[in-house]
Amino acid sequence: MVKLAKISTLAAVGALALSAGMTVSAPDAEAAVCKAPLRGTATGQGLFGKGTAEARRLARYEWESRASIIYGDSFGNFAKARRVFWDCKKGAILQARCTVVARPCR
């Protein structure tokens, strides 16, 4: 009975160690597929949010272009980017400026 308890304890500890090892390797897997963060910035003009929407679209386009040029076409897909941060501000009358920072991934 004592041997059975020791075996099941060892099995539980082994399973815990194995799952801990898997979580430790997850960031390494992301690093193998993702590159360093890139920034895209643009301005847009318009009323009622249209300037911000245009600035976001153009910032995304700039980010995709930079990612493709620096890391290759397989990293230029914004939909696959990770850790995406947007910063949009209204500037002068009718003008908005947006910056996006994200890690390109394939």
For the chain, what are the domain ranges?
A: 1-33, 35-103
Q: In whole angstroms, what is the distance from residue 64 CA to residue 66 CA? A: 6
Q: What is the pLDDT of residues 56-71, one digit of tens each?
A: 999 999 999 999 999 9
User: Which pLDDT score is estimated for 78?
Assistant: 96
Q: In whole angstroms, what is the distance from residue 21 CA to residue 13 CA? A: 12
Structure tokens given for 81: 């980017």
Question: Phi, psi (5° rounding) for residue 13?
Answer: -65, -40
Q: In whole angstroms, what is the distance from residue 30 CA to residue 83 CA? A: 11
pTM of the model: 0.68
Q: DSSP letter for 23, please.
A: H
Q: What share of the chain is helix, strand, coil (3-state, %, to 5)?
A: 55, 25, 15
